[in-house]
């Protein structure tokens, strides 16, 4: 009888380990699928939004092209008299 209980105990432990591995693998697959679906959803939403805002030529903000001389002159004009 003792031998039977040892065999049954070993089988139960083995089944618990196998079930844990299968559950972990399944969980990883489900999370990877959800992340992929979220990425695809965000890609299509961004693509759809980009069509709505085609009137603006720049993607983010406004581009200001100033020469270095203009910037230096502006800084000199705005400085207090004691720092000139």
State if pTM tops 0.75. Answer: no
The residue-averaged pLDDT of 4-20 equals 96
Q: What percent of the chain has pLDDT over 70?
A: 64
Distance (Å, rounded) from C-alpha 42 to C-alpha 31?
16
DSSP 8-77: HHHHHHHHHHHHHHHHHHHHHHHHHHHHHHHHHHHHHHHHHHHHHTTTSSSSSS------HHHHHHHHHH
Who wins on pLDDT, 55 or 35?
Answer: 35
76 φ/ψ angles, rounded to the nearest 5 degrees: -65, -35
Asked if pLDDT for residue 83 goes beyond 90, the answer is: no
């Amino acid at each position: 009888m003792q031998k039977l209980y040892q065999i049954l105990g070993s089988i139960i432990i083995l089944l618990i380990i196998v079930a844990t591995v299968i559950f972990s693998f399944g969980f990883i697959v489900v999370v990877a699928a959800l992340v992929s679906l979220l990425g695809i959803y965000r890609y299509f939403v961004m693509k759809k939004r980009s069509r709505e805002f085609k009137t603006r030529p720049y993607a983010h903000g406004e581009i200001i092209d100033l020469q270095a001389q203009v910037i230096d002159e502006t800084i000199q004009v705005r400085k207090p008299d004691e720092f000139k």
